[in-house]
Amino acid sequence: MRSINHRNSIFCILPPHILVEIAKNGTKAQREAAVLTLGTDHTIRTSRLSFSLLGGLQVPHMEAAGAATPQKQRTIYDCGQSQNLPGKMVRSEGDAAVADSSVNEAYDGLGDTFNFYFDAYQRNSIDNRGLPMKASVHFGENYDNAFWNGQQMIFGDGDKEIFTGFTASLDVIGHELTHGVTGSEANLNYQGQSGALNESISDVFGSLVKQKKLNQTADVADWLIGAGILAPGIAGTALRSMKAPGTAYNDPTLGKDPQPADMAHYLKTTQDNGGVHINSGIPNRAFYLVATALGGYAWLKAGQIWYDTLLDPRLKASADFASFANLTAINGSRRYGSGGVEQKAVLAAWKTVGVTVSTSAAG
């Protein structure tokens, strides 16, 4: 990116939508000045906008966001089996490991997830501006859930009969932190198809965090979510399978994995915010198909295309599967070339799961 040391003063008083128009349609100098002016507005979505307007993928996101050398800032709290957040602070950045394995798992998992995002996509934490990462463990009594509350991650201990504990699986920690990333970017509505995309993006990057930590290529990875948190004796391998949605478990207590593998089996329901943890199986499988078709480390190409799409300002909060698929095709083409194996893999994957990509995106 060429450095620009001055700002056109008139741009400072222009409203953002006009700056966007100039950034899209002005002369080269006007475009750069408009983008620079937009870049001084430290709103969450600015980095996405600048990123795209500058041709997106030729500009490192870190540079567009103007972030300094990234530093992890982790703080782990202990709820002591209460549901009062955040709880007592028990380990902060740089502290030595403690006796409590849940605390250390959360601390290490946040570190691995931070490292993943920075190493793979030069992203500086949840908001790409070095946001401190907070997690609370031992939430509730034998609590069978982990969630993101908009500000931090929260992990239950599990009941030990079915779930061993929600910090035990790196993909779970990566999943929850990615909800924060999505909230900082497209902020996909947590309902229906956009909600299922929100869930799927958390599964995709949660799995990639684990794959990178284990140095696994796409053909070796298990493509399972939550494999490490099921107790022995459960009839299942995990909570979700990205490779074969609907096959992760079939257990007397948990029932049968209801995830569909394609649009023909899309489940219409009002529960679970319109089936966000169910229909996520469809985009999950699309990602798996792209990653395995391209081979190698999944975070390099398939992950990059999905990450580019998440940051693409054209990805609306209300996006459905088809509009997300279109943008993956566009971003695959933009980064790796139109008609290349990458774009072909993207188009083939969405076709397999029954999501139609528009001809303009496919071209």
Partner 1 sequence: MWLILVCLLVAGGPAAKKKASPVMQIKFVRSGGFAGAATNVAGTVEFGEQGAQVHAEATDYHRELAPQEGEQLRADADPGALANAAVPATGAVRDGYQYDIAVVTKDGKSHSLTLRQGDKATRLGSWIQDEAEKIWRYRVAARKLPQP
Q: Which of 187, 83, 70, 189 is nearest to 133 (CA)?
A: 70
Report the alpha-carbon distance of residue 247 to residue 323 in Å, rounded.
27
SS3 assignment, position 53: helix
Segment interacting with partner 1, rule: CB under 8 A, options 13-21, 46-54, 148-156, 290-298: 148-156
Nearer residue to Zn ion within complex by CB, 157 or 199: 199
Residue 226 engages partner 1 in binding (rule: CB under 8 A): yes
Q: Could you tell which of partner 1, Zn ion, none binds residue 232, using a CB distance below 5 to 8 A set by kind?
A: none
Q: How far is the CB of 240 from partner 1 (least distance, A)?
A: 8
Point out which residues pair with 136 in neighbouring strands.
77, 154
Task: Kindly determine how many residues on this chain lie close enough to bind Zn ion according to the rule CB under 5 A.
Answer: 2
> 50: Cβ–Cβ under 8 A, 6 or more apart, which residues?
35, 38, 39, 59, 64, 65
> Per residue in 162-187, is it b (16+ CB within 10 Å) or e — as a string?
bbbbbbbbbbbbbbbbbbbbbbbbbe
Q: Quick one: which of 112, 176, 312, 342 contacts partner 1 (CB under 8 A)?
A: 176
Tell me if residue 277 is catalytic: yes
Q: Quick one: which of 74, 138, 212, 240 contacts partner 1 (CB under 8 A)?
A: 240
Residue with tokens 């409590």: 100
Residue 166 engages partner 1 in binding (rule: CB under 8 A): yes
Question: Which residues, numbered 292-351, are part of the site for partner 1 (CB under 8 A)?
Answer: none
Calculate helix-pair angle for 302-311, 321-336, nearest 10 degrees: 120
Residue 278 engages partner 1 in binding (rule: CB under 8 A): yes
Residue 190 engages partner 1 in binding (rule: CB under 8 A): yes
Pattern 195-224, Zn ion, x by CB under 5 A: ----x--x----------------------
Pattern 259-278, Zn ion, x by CB under 5 A: --------------------
Report the alpha-carbon distance of residue 182 to residue 262 in Å, rounded.
23
Residue 15 engages partner 1 in binding (rule: CB under 8 A): no
Residue 145 engages partner 1 in binding (rule: CB under 8 A): yes
In degrees, rounded to 5, the angle at the alpha carbon of residue 130 between the alpha carbons of residues 125 and 135 is 60
Nearer residue to partner 1 within complex by CB, 40 or 84: 84
Report the alpha-carbon distance of residue 198 to residue 250 in Å, rounded.
25
Query: At residue 360, what is the residue type?
Result: S
Please pick, among 61, 138, 179, 277, the residue that the annotation labels catalytic: 277
Q: Which of 179, 175, 168, 158 is nearest to 103 (CA)?
A: 168
Please pick, among 105, 176, 185, 342, the residue that the annotation labels catalytic: 176
Q: How far is the CB of 152 from partner 1 (least distance, A)?
A: 11
With 0-12 CB in 10 A as exposed, 13-18 as middle and 19+ as buried, what is 10? exposed
Q: Which residues of this chain interact with partner 1, rule CB under 8 A?
A: 142, 144-151, 159, 161-163, 166, 172, 175-176, 179, 183, 190, 198, 202, 226, 239-240, 249, 252-255, 257-258, 270-273, 276-278
Just list the catalytic residues: 176, 277
Q: Which residues of this chain interact with Zn ion, rule CB under 5 A?
A: 199, 202
